[in-house]
């Protein structure tokens, strides 16, 4: 999963689970703030990645969002339950999972076998 998609997932999970408006996330692996904006509702997500000048958007079907990043034909699926989430980047067939706690989001990326930490 790319760093941009990972930051968008952290932002969506952070907003959905905390219920707070966010101006982006702080990506500790890159030591930088990733500016993001847009809407996160129970049925639709439309996030704008300011740094990459592109959208990450899609709709919910049942318990799962199907999201496209900048028109990439391979979706990212995302399920949110309680303070946790999981999904798959179908472009790389990579699964991920994570948890939102207080002012942070942790994502475990199965492709790299690494955990990533984001401040919200």
Residues 33-62 have pLDDT tens digits of 999 999 999 999 999 999 889 999 999 999
Mean pLDDT computed over every residue of the chain: 95
Spatial contact of 77 and 66, defined as CB atoms under 8 Å apart: yes
The pTM (predicted TM-score) of the whole model is 0.95
Position 71 pLDDT exceeds 80? no
Structure tokens belonging to residue 107: 């994502």
Candidates 61, 20, 70; CA nearest to 42 is 61
Alpha carbons 70 and 118: distance in angstroms, whole number: 22
DSSP 3-state of 59:
strand
């Amino acid at each position: 999963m790319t760093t941009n998609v990972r930051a968008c997932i952290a932002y969506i999970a952070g907003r959905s689970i905390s219920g707070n408006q966010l101006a982006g996330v702080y990506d500790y692996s890159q030591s930088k703030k990733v500016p993001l904006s847009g809407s996160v509702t129970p049925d639709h997500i439309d996030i704008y990645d300011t740094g990459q000048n592109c959208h990450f958007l899609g709709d919910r079907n049942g318990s799962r969002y199907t999201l496209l990043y900048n028109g990439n034909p391979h979706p990212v699926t995302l399920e949110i339950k309680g303070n946790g989430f999981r999904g798959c980047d179908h472009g790389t067939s990579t699964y991920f999972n994570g948890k939102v706690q207080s002012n942070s989001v942790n994502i475990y990326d199965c492709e790299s076998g690494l955990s990533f930490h984001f401040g919200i």
